[in-house]
Amino acid sequence: MSNHPTFLAFRTNLEAGKTSCVEQVTYFLNRIEERKSLNCFLEVFGDEALLRAKEVDERVRTGKAGKLAGMVVALKDNICFKGHRISAASKILGSFSSIYSATVVERLLHEDAIIIGRANCDEFAMGSSNENSAFGPVLNPIDEQRSPGGSSGGSAAAVAAGLCHVALGSDTGGSIRQPASFCGLVGMKPTYGRISRYGLIAYASSFDQIGPLTHTIADAALLLEVIAGADGYDSTASSLPVEAYSANLNPKNKPSVALITEFMNDTRWDREIHHKIQKIVKLLQDNGHTTGEASFPYLDHMVPAYYVLTTAEASSNLSRYGGVLYGYRSPNATDIDSTYRKSRSEGFGPEVKRRILLGTFVLSSGYYDAYYSNAQKVRRILRDKTNEILEKFDFILLPTTPKTAFKLGEISDPVTMYLEDIFTVQANLTGLPAISIPLGTHSNGMPFGLQLIGRKFSEQQMLAFASELEAL
Amino acid sequence: MMDMYDKYEPVIGLEVHMQLLTKSKAYASDSASYGAQPNHHISPITLGHPGTLPRSNKAVVEFAVKLGLAVGSTIRRENQYARKNYFYADLPKGYQITQDTTPICNGGSITIKNQEDGSSRTINITRIHMEEDAGKSIHDQDPFDTLVDLNRAGIALLEVVSEPEIRTSSEAYQYLTEIRKLVRYLEICDGNMEEGSMRCDANISIRLKGDKVLNQRTEVKNMNSIRNVQRAIDYEVKRQIEEVEAGRKIAGETRSFDAVHGTTYAMRSKELANDYRYFPEPDLQPILVEQDYIESIRNRMPALPQELFHKYTSTLGLSEYDAALITDNKQMALYFEELIAHTSNFKSAVNWMMGGVKSYLNENAVEIEGFPLKPAELAALIQLIDAGKISHTAATQKLFPAMIAQPGSNPESLAAALNLLIESSGDALKEWAEAAIAKYPEKVAEFKAGKTGLLGLFMGELMKQSKGKADPKAADQILRELLSI
């Protein structure tokens, strides 16, 4: 038995010669088999992972191993890995295999991480429940009746169920943080531009960020410092140097924290989550932190602005899937037009089609100003107003989700589902970093996370403060 | 009665697409060179594979600024890219990266010359923007399928849009000729319409002369030469006039030019045209073009045909005809520029260019790059003539061909070796003069009797004796001396 839920625990034993990468991978492969019904993985790279584990063990033996030696990682199935299939949990990609690796994958492999498989998710990362996967929903390992959240549901469930050390997800409107909250994990969406998006299948380019799903802040910090940083293949990736997050997790100061008045004064939100926040605030005050309230009367504008802009970008980003160059081509196609029509009608799932139609509509002539332009203006205002709060406070403290994990099939109305994102879209609309930390367990037995939003590129301070909160 | 065609005035605007001579593509590092095997210049980025992102090629911005400066545009500081969305098999991403509301260049103009009366007109430019090319769909190579070559996909383009100020097909011809000359001078595009590296779409409408309105226009595509643009406009204007005169409406549509029949035919109706759903390209940060960058490009700008033409006609006193011939081709102009850096006898320099040099190029069917003599060598030849060391005849007939046969040799030594240098020393001259006089004893008497016009006869004979090497001045003097005795 070599159950090391966290990578750091494994690394300690590995360095002490008490375990090996092969032993760890074997353990995870068995666990994956045992918990197959969770539907976490679309594909497990079993033999390859074992082979690689052997190689890494050899490098560990000769002292040449990288800093993630033996870290077993699940990749959300929208991150490209050369020579491996990738589907974005959609039928439209058919049996497509990527001919290159995402920058984050290159960096993981360079530091001797071991990629164990492709994690299930919502189709093209569109969803909050993982029910939009063309390959069936993922079950929440804590309560299999419930959703693990989405869209990075497979990634979160795999980590929570102990099928790998960590996972990479992508977060366009909460797709890392919400599943982290539902599954009791740490989930981080770094500042837009902190991590290269090269090799991440785009949903909404100006919102998407890759990020870690881990058991602990320490694992998240280590993973982030490896995958972050400038990349010549992504002009939106920042060239700002990456700090040594993992070596600086001891808080150096007492960050101040803002609570949003409109949330604190609104009784429609879950009372237990609300109380937990108040309790945390009390503890922070006791520890010498400044806390205060800030007004942000824009909660109701965030989700509409988010869905107008993300669907607009998605409608364009998903144009490349048409059955012409690669992926699924309808056998019923007879000419170029029907190739597009039929391949896309048959290949995309209903939620993806809904968003493509919505995005096409908001960009079409005659409607562009009313929808796309206005939503862009709202985005600018939200960014300015959020930054105003962060000029006075170091962090904003919010719930990650309105409630704990809902039951699979519980929410059928798309707009109700979209409103699940109410606390998470702010960080994507503003490009700011945010992290969900597992801080509570509800009376219904399910975990929930609390969320910090920080200033641009404040990952260092955010991880240090999060580790203080983790220890509370 | 007035001709029905004369009642109308064409209103023409041209959109010119030029493929840039950058080494790599606009947003990928794939080679942008022409003529490779189909689908060999393709990376995952060009193929639009899932997860790929564009990478801006800085040379595209530089080329755009060069062209903008050359035509006097305002260069925009903050340049955003946009996506133009449409589905086609040769467009791998399903959208083209272009510029929509923020083109890199606004305004500017091209001056064209009326070939008949020599008058000038200015055609204003609306905008120049950066974009990427689509791949190539090949419909005529396979009997059943359309083939797609993506080597061209992602090649950098500049699109130059003119105001609808062109009034005749020959003005369109002149406008395109000037643009092509300009981009060749700037070395940003090879201007080859046959290979499609420069393409032109013409927006054409007609109106009654004196009207100010803009009527329904058609867009005509697929002209693969400047001459064919002219033909397409001629046909389309005539067609539109006949339609209107017959009481029919002009349909807003895209038409294709048929070069075999010299006609245009409808491709698709504008009403059914795509809604391109332009929006800002989120994968590329806006590119900032700062003033000092613009200045650094301005300082490195090559001489442009208009400037050189002006310099030659006004400062150097060349005729417009000569100046136009020399500036028509950049390499020719560069040769001439270097030539006049070595000699101040501009008139002689032009004469050599239009005479000996041009003949050599024509006879050997080569461009100026293939001319064996360096400008400095040609200048040295001019210098020899100007210094009176060689006669013009000996220079053109003997020395020039000899220099071409032995490029790199010193013209004066070569002339000496060929015994072509003018003799002004007394002894040789005296000998030739005496021989010349001795040949016509009876003419000497006539001369002495007052028929001084006979001096030319003796001079001619002297020159013959000297094989053209005699210094005419000294010869004149010595003849007069000898004959007056």
pLDDT tens readout for residues B439-462: 888 888 888 888 888 888 888 888
Listed range (A138-147, B120-129, B211-220) with the worst mean pLDDT: B211-220
Would you say residue A340 has pLDDT above 70?
yes
- Nearest chain B residue to A373 by CA: give it: B279
List domains and CATH numbers for chain B. 4-294 (no CATH), 426-483 (1.10.10)
Does A370 contact chain B (CB < 8 Å)? no
Nearest CA in chain A to B45: A233
Question: B242 Cβ partners below 8 Å, 6+ apart?
Answer: none
Residue B84's beta-bridge partner residues?
B96
Catalytic residue among A151, A155, A315, A436: A151
pLDDT of residue B422: 74
Residues of A in Cβ contact (< 8 Å) with B94: 316, 318-320, 322
> Closest to B89 (Cβ–Cβ): which among A198, A234, A336?
A336
> Would an 8 Å CB–CB cutoff place A372 in contact with chain B?
yes
Mean pLDDT of B265-272: 72
With CB atoms and an 8 Å threshold, state whether B87 touches A319.
yes
Measured CA to CA, the distance from residue A56 to residue A71 in angstroms comes to 10
pLDDT band at A1 (very low <50, low <70, confident <90, very high): very low
pLDDT for residue B472 is more than 90: no
Q: How far apart are CA A202 and CA B96, in angstroms?
A: 16
Write out pLDDT tens, residues A123-135: 999 999 999 999 9
- Based on the residue annotation, tell me whether A76 is a catalytic residue of this protein: yes
Mean pLDDT lowest for which of A455-459, B78-82, B116-120, B464-468? B464-468
Residues of chain A in contact with residue B51, where contact means CB-CB under 8 angstroms, are 78-80, 98, 102, 197-202
The partner residue sitting opposite A235, judged by closest CB among B51, B56, B275, is B56
pLDDT tens track for A234-290: 999 999 999 999 999 998 899 999 999 998 888 888 999 999 999 999 999 999 999
Q: Summarize the confidence of residues B239-261 as an average pLDDT.
A: 94
Query: Any idea which residue has 């009313």 for tokens?
Result: A370
**Is the CB of residue A368 less than 8 Å away from at least one CB of chain B?**
yes
Using the beta-carbon criterion (under 8 Å), do A336 and B146 form an inter-chain contact?
A: yes
Counted across chains A and B, CB pairs separated by less than 8 A come out at 96
Tell me how close the Cα of A365 comes to any Cα of chain B, in angstroms.
Answer: 7
Q: Determine the length of chain B.
A: 485
A91 Rama sector, left if φ>0, alpha if ψ -120 to 50, beta otherwise: alpha
Q: From A85, which residue of chain B is nearest by alpha-carbon distance?
A: B50
Q: Is the pLDDT of residue A231 over 80?
A: yes
Q: Lowest-confidence range among A221-230, B14-23, B311-320?
A: B311-320
Planar angle of CA A74, A80, A82, nearest 5 degrees: 105
pLDDT at B424: 63
Per DSSP, what are the bridge partners of residue A97? A85
Residue A469 φ/ψ region, left for φ over 0, alpha for ψ in the -120 to 50 degree band, beta for the rest? alpha
Q: What's the mean pLDDT when you consider all of chain B?
A: 91
**Own/partner long-range contacts of A437-440 (Cβ < 8 Å, ≥24 apart):** A437/A186, A437/A217, A437/A466, A437/A469, A437/A470, A438/A180, A438/A181, A438/A184, A438/A185, A438/A186, A439/A276, A439/A280, A439/A469, A439/A470, A439/A472, A440/A272, A440/A273, A440/A276
Bigger pLDDT: A468 or A4?
A468
pLDDT in tens, B365-386: 998 988 999 999 999 889 888 8
What share of chain A in percent tops pLDDT 90?
A: 94
Provide, as residue numbers in chain B, all residues whose Cβ is less than 8 Å from the Cβ of A192: none
pLDDT at B423: 67
The answer to whether residue A225 neighbours chain B at the CB level (below 8 Å) is no
**Whether B344 contacts chain A with CB within 8 A:** no
**Chain A residues within 8 A of B284 when measuring between CB atoms:** 235-236
A313 to chain B: which residues are within 8 Å by CB?
A: 279, 282
The 8-class DSSP code of residue A425 comes to H
Give the Cα separation of A292 and A264 in Å (integer): 11
Look up residue A372 and give its DSSP letter: I
Nearest CA in chain A to B149: A325
Q: For A48-59, how does the pLDDT look when each residue is reduced to its tens digit (9 = 90+)?
A: 999 999 999 999
CB-based contact, A83 to chain B, within 8 Å: no
Question: In the predicted model, what is the mean pLDDT of chain A?
Answer: 96
Report domain A7-247's class.
Answer: alpha beta
Q: What is the pLDDT of residue B386?
A: 87
User: Which candidate from B44, B95, B279 shows the least CB-CB separation from A319?
Assistant: B95
Show the beta-strand stretches assigned E in A215-326: 257-260, 291-294
Distance from the Cα of A99 to chain B's closest Cα (Å) equals 7
**For residue A334, what is the nearest residue in chain B, using CA coordinates?**
B145
Give the closest residue to B288 by CA, choosing from B102, B160, B145, B479: B102
Residue B118 identity: G
- Provide the pLDDT for residue B465: 80
- Chain B segment 181-200 residues within 8 A of A by beta carbon are none
Residue A2 has a pLDDT of: 57
Q: State yes or no: is A129 an active-site residue.
A: no
A244-279: buried (b, 16+ CB within 10 Å) or exposed (e) per residue? ebbebbebeeebebbbbeebeeeeebeebbeebbee
Report pTM.
0.90
For the cut 50, the answer to whether the pLDDT of residue B463 exceeds it is yes
Ordered by start, the domain boundaries in chain A are 7-247
Average pLDDT over every residue of A190-215: 98
Residue B116 in this model has a pLDDT that exceeds 90 = no
Please pick, among A128, A129, A175, A343, the residue that the annotation labels catalytic: A175
Average of per-residue pLDDT across A18-24: 97
Under 8 Å CB-to-CB from B332, ≥6 apart: which residues? B325, B326, B353, B368
Residue with tokens 């697409």: B17
Pick among A317, A335, A376 to test the B interface (most B CBs inside 10 A): A317
Known catalytic membership, residue A175: yes
Which residues, 6 or more positions from A43, have their beta carbon under 8 angstroms from its beta carbon?
A84, A85, A117, A118
Rounded CA separation A298/A262 (Å): 9
Q: What is the torsional sign of CA A359, A364, A367, A369?
A: positive
Which tens digit of pLDDT belongs to each residue from B135-192?
999 988 998 888 999 999 999 999 999 999 999 999 999 999 999 999 999 999 999 9
How much is the ipTM here? 0.96
